[in-house]
A and B are shown apart, each in its own frame.
Chain A
Amino acid sequence: MSTSANPVITAWSAISPYGIGRQAFEEGVGSGRVALTPCDRKTWGTRDEVVGLVPDFDLRAVLGKKGTKAMSRVTGLALATTGDLLKEIPQDHRAGLVLGTTAGSLQTTMEFTRTSLAAQFPHHVDAAVIPYTVMNASAARCAIWYGLKGPNSTIAGGRPTALHALGYARRLIRAGRAETVLCGAAEEYSRARSWFAYHDRAGSRPVLGEGCAMFALQAGPGSEGEALAELVAVDTRISPTPDRTAETVEAAVRRVLAAAPDGAEVWTACPSGADDSPGRQELSVLADLFGSHVLTHPLPSVIGDAGSASAAFQLAQVLSRARRDPSAAGRLAVITSVDVSGPVAAVLLRLSDRRGNEETSKQ
């Protein structure tokens, strides 16, 4: 790796529709397998045809019965993913954690109010649910479970929010507020989310996915362990209107490329693949700038729209592909994401010089 001042990603973990753990994700991305399954509408209370669910994610089976009463699904996903990641890096109780979110668990929060409205007295609600009705619940619970006392933050930036989380984590490291920051994003599939998506899309039903991906970002020089990629640049901005997404993406991409090391070539560009007009504009801008042949295959078509976790999965997708492709070594990856409500983000990574990183997973 270069000895620049940029922080580096040293490890990652994911729980996705491809299964639990990084290896399942790598294999899924490698094979291009479609991980969408028919939706059990009765159990979920939704009307989706197909859905990208994390298979066999019974929260209490995965995390145990102690301390998981009333836990929201999104918190379970974040806890399990963070636990996996912590096995890969040296212990550091001063580590920070930054988690991207839409608005915590909309399901748990809505159900809490629904219960209150339906009860004989409005305050007849289960106190055990309370912590999960607050939007910082997942990040805070990770801190409690794993004894992380560093900066702990929850960030909402629309679909690109995982890229915001990366930028925020980098800022904490640069300011000397943490040496290691675990960052990523999590999203759950739920009845609430499904119906909100339906109403937001004027009655069409997007194919929804879910899951969580978390990355260890560490101060560059002298950081422990094997760097997978260097975080060269992050740019986030707002598209003035949905129909101006293309020019906004282009401006973001040009700004991150301006920070590229001399002579480094772009190995891949990874779009969000959002199934809407801004998503299509993003795709065509990346194709124009880099050529269609270097684009990664959009993830939503194989695992569903993972909402605020989607950009975290894009980052995992790029790192998965780089590990299997010797030609990626030392080259650049551009990751972009857009949201119809305005947020646009671009990230530039420089992939490790090493060909294929050592397998350290203990799964």
Chain B
Amino acid sequence: MSASSSPPATDLRRRVVVTGLGVVSSIGIGVPEFTEGLREGRNGASPITAFDTTGYEHTNGCEVVGFEPEPFVHTLGDQLGRAGTFAAAAARMAMNDAGLTEGELRRQRGHITIGTSDAETRDLDTLAGQDLAGGPESMDPALAGRLSADRLSTAIARELGLSDVESATLTTACSAGNYAIGNGLDAIRAGEADFAICGGADAVCRKTFNIFYRLRTIAPDYCRPFDKNRQGILTGEGAGILLLESAESALRRGARIYAEVLGYGLNCDGYHPVAPDQASLTNCMRLALDDAGVDFRDVDLISAHGTGTKTNDVTEVAAIREIWGESAPRTVSLKSMIGHTMGAASALAAVAGTLAITHGFIPPTINHVETDPECDIDCVPNHSVPADLKIVQSNGLAFGGNNSVIVLGRFQETA
């Protein structure tokens, strides 16, 4: 299959740029605080409070603490669970950050895609408990009515009062954020949307914690990607939203351009429900680089999926080695800081990659003691470093073999 040809550098209508960011995370809410968290290498881990952890030996997670939605979410009340609230709040942040207003967005054809792993599964867990305790009659109707995953994207449209807007949620698990950004990229490239609000959102829930616990992949204390003694993930939560528009539109309105979305790739292992497949991931990275029109040697930084499980890190580094050989670029894992935020993971990584390009630094892989010889890359251990970044690649993998990789670049009007 031929990848779509990258747009000619002269066609600013087909080049897609990031002009707004919104963030809810365990290491910072809002762009300034999140940027600071990345620079400092903050650890978002704390004991889980989302559900009763009695009976589990390991009980750390990366929860968003002290989040007040009121400044950002005005209209939706109990129509929204925690994930939807994160999504709507981060979307409004991104709109404000882009210097746009609801009125300006309403005059254009819009696009919203949100990626998620669990949507409002946290509510489903609550309903399961109510069902067990008091039977199905006793379930809370407000929770029962907001379980459809599409609510995450619809919430944003309703919150911002957007009607002429394509809106959908992609539930491709742990890589969903990249799927969403890629869908927005294609919509703007094709002239089907004037702007796109894309990203991912998820909330910590018992079901997902239980999955990883049962698979023995919950870390006892912290997440240590690429470390010799890594023991798995910490489940996390939050939202990362990017506001995308064509370069032409951004330049016309004199917007601040953070970075360009150069391209993306997506494929499916078709191999195993939970284990990653090296050849397929390698192929996905190649698809993304081809789509972006980027030579692999020009990649300055890889933001890895980097879950910190034994299998993921070895497989991912081997796939990187397949392309880069011995000269792999620095490869970091945001999950060391914010945990595995599921469908928000690659969206938050895209926000981080965008900020890294903008501010000229590489976020660290924290909790790092000794690099595993089997994943021998420079993971920028523990401390961020200044760096001149032109091209950043960000990997997303998921259960079910749903891979997606995006490529971000510093924007130059004449490429």
Which residues of A are at the interface with B, using a C-beta cutoff of 8 A? Answer: 45, 93-94, 97, 101-104, 106, 109-114, 116-118, 121-123, 125, 127, 130-131, 133-137, 139-141, 143-144, 146-158, 161, 164, 167-168, 171-172, 174-179, 191, 195-196, 199-200, 202, 236-240, 248, 251, 308, 339, 341-343
CA A238 to CA B399, docked complex, whole Å: 30
Question: Which of A102, A111, A134 contacts B148 (CB under 8 A)?
Answer: A102
CB distance from B134 to the nearest CB of A (A): 12
Chain B interface residue number, banded: 35 or more
CB distance from B405 to the nearest CB of A (A): 12
Supply 10 further A-B pairs (C-beta < 8 A) apart from A139-B402, A177-B266. A103-B120, A116-B206, A133-B211, A136-B171, A144-B269, A153-B179, A155-B170, A177-B1, A196-B147, A200-B145
CA A97 to CA B166, docked complex, whole Å: 20
Q: Are A102 and B401 in contact (CB under 8 A)?
A: no
B337 at the interface (CB under 8 A from A): no
Q: Are A106 and B268 in contact (CB under 8 A)?
A: no
Q: Are B1 and A134 in contact (CB under 8 A)?
A: no
CB distance from B211 to the nearest CB of A (A): 5
B273 at the interface (CB under 8 A from A): yes
State whether A106 and B273 are in contact (beta carbons under 8 Å apart), knowing that A135-B119, A143-B268, A144-B401 are contacts in the complex: no
Q: Are B136 and A161 in contact (CB under 8 A)?
A: no
A-B contact pairs, 11 of them (CB 8 A): A103-B119, A103-B147, A113-B125, A116-B206, A125-B210, A135-B149, A137-B400, A154-B172, A167-B166, A176-B1, A251-B163
Q: Are A343 and B150 in contact (CB under 8 A)?
A: yes
Q: Are B207 and A238 in contact (CB under 8 A)?
A: no
Question: Which of B1, B165, B206, B399 contacts A136 (CB under 8 A)?
Answer: B399
B201 at the interface (CB under 8 A from A): no
State whether A251 and B164 are in contact (beta carbons under 8 Å apart), knowing that A101-B171, A123-B214, A161-B150 are contacts in the complex: yes
4 A-B pairs with the lowest CB-CB distances in the bound complex, closest first = A140-B400, A152-B268, A135-B171, A156-B149
CA A239 to CA B150, docked complex, whole Å: 14
Question: Which of B140, B166, B170, B273 contacts A144 (CB under 8 A)?
Answer: B273
Q: Are B270 and A149 in contact (CB under 8 A)?
A: yes
Q: Are A116 and B171 in contact (CB under 8 A)?
A: no
Q: Are B154 and A144 in contact (CB under 8 A)?
A: no
B124 at the interface (CB under 8 A from A): yes
B66 at the interface (CB under 8 A from A): no
> In the complex, which residues of chain A have a beta carbon less than 8 angstroms from the beta carbon of B129?
113, 117
CB distance from A74 to the nearest CB of B (A): 13
Question: Which of A94, A155, A191 contacts B1 (CB under 8 A)?
Answer: A94
CB distance from A43 to the nearest CB of B (A): 15
B415 at the interface (CB under 8 A from A): no
- Nearest B-chain residue to A241, judged by Cβ: B158
Q: Are B150 and A156 in contact (CB under 8 A)?
A: yes
Which B131-172 residues sit within 8 Å CB-CB of chain A?
131-132, 136, 139-141, 144-145, 147-151, 153-154, 157-158, 161-172
Q: Are A156 and B171 in contact (CB under 8 A)?
A: yes
Q: Are B124 and A136 in contact (CB under 8 A)?
A: no
Question: Which of B148, B164, B206 contacts A103 (CB under 8 A)?
Answer: B148
Among the 9-residue stretches B31-39, B186-194, B222-230, B373-381, the one with 4 or more Cβ atoms under 8 Å from chain A is B186-194
- Nearest B-chain residue to A247, judged by Cβ: B163
Q: CB-defined interface of B345-365 with A at 8 Å, one 1/0 digit per residue?
A: 000000000000000000000
Question: Which of A117, A148, A157, A199 contacts B128 (CB under 8 A)?
Answer: A117
- Nearest A-chain residue to B271, judged by Cβ: A144
- Which of B120, B153, B166, B399 has the most chain A CB within a 10 Å cutoff? B166
CA A248 to CA B164, docked complex, whole Å: 9
CA A15 to CA B400, docked complex, whole Å: 23
- Which of B167, B186, B270 has the most chain A CB within a 10 Å cutoff? B270
CB distance from B115 to the nearest CB of A (A): 10
Question: Which of A143, A158, A175 contacts B154 (CB under 8 A)?
Answer: A158
> In the complex, which residues of chain A have a beta carbon less than 8 angstroms from the beta carbon of B398?
136
B55 at the interface (CB under 8 A from A): yes
B88 at the interface (CB under 8 A from A): no
Q: Are B210 and A116 in contact (CB under 8 A)?
A: yes
CA A149 to CA B267, docked complex, whole Å: 6
Which B3-19 residues sit within 8 Å CB-CB of chain A?
3-5
B309 at the interface (CB under 8 A from A): no
Q: Are A149 and B163 in contact (CB under 8 A)?
A: no
B213 at the interface (CB under 8 A from A): yes
Question: Which of B1, B170, B190, B192 contacts A178 (CB under 8 A)?
Answer: B1
State whether A158 and B268 are in contact (beta carbons under 8 Å apart), knowing that A153-B172, A238-B158 are contacts in the complex: no
CB distance from B201 to the nearest CB of A (A): 13
> In the complex, which residues of chain A have a beta carbon less than 8 angstroms from the beta carbon of B273?
130-131, 137, 140-141, 144
Q: Are B1 and A109 in contact (CB under 8 A)?
A: no
Which B261-275 residues sit within 8 Å CB-CB of chain A?
266-274
- Nearest B-chain residue to A97, judged by Cβ: B268
CB distance from B251 to the nearest CB of A (A): 24
> In the complex, which residues of chain B have a beta carbon less than 8 angstroms from the beta carbon of A177?
1, 3-4, 186, 266
> In the complex, which residues of chain B have a beta carbon less than 8 angstroms from the beta carbon of A104?
171
B280 at the interface (CB under 8 A from A): yes
> In the complex, which residues of chain B have a beta carbon less than 8 angstroms from the beta carbon of A195?
131, 136, 139, 144
> In the complex, which residues of chain A have a beta carbon less than 8 angstroms from the beta carbon of B271?
144
CA A112 to CA B125, docked complex, whole Å: 9
> In the complex, which residues of chain B have a beta carbon less than 8 angstroms from the beta carbon of A176?
1-5
- Nearest B-chain residue to A200, judged by Cβ: B145
State whether A122 and B163 are in contact (beta carbons under 8 Å apart), knowing that A113-B207, A164-B168 are contacts in the complex: no
- Which of A154, A156, A158, A308 has the most chain B CB within a 10 Å cutoff? A156
CA A172 to CA B192, docked complex, whole Å: 13
State whether A191 and B56 are in contact (beta carbons under 8 Å apart), knowing that A101-B171, A240-B158, A343-B154 are contacts in the complex: no
CA A211 to CA B153, docked complex, whole Å: 25
CB distance from B179 to the nearest CB of A (A): 6
Question: Which of B55, B167, B173, B206 contacts A236 (CB under 8 A)?
Answer: B167
CA A155 to CA B154, docked complex, whole Å: 13
Q: Are B266 and A153 in contact (CB under 8 A)?
A: yes
CA A134 to CA B399, docked complex, whole Å: 8
CA A106 to CA B56, docked complex, whole Å: 24
State whether A341 and B207 are in contact (beta carbons under 8 Å apart), knowing that A106-B124, A130-B274, A143-B270 are contacts in the complex: no
CB distance from B292 to the nearest CB of A (A): 13
> In the complex, which residues of chain B have a beta carbon less than 8 angstroms from the beta carbon of A156?
119, 148-150, 168-171
CB distance from A317 to the nearest CB of B (A): 23
> In the complex, which residues of chain A have a beta carbon less than 8 angstroms from the beta carbon of B2?
176
State whether A151 and B266 are in contact (beta carbons under 8 Å apart), knowing that A116-B206, A137-B400, A176-B1 are contacts in the complex: yes
CB distance from A27 to the nearest CB of B (A): 32
State whether A152 and B211 are in contact (beta carbons under 8 Å apart), knowing that A143-B270, A237-B166, A238-B158 are contacts in the complex: no
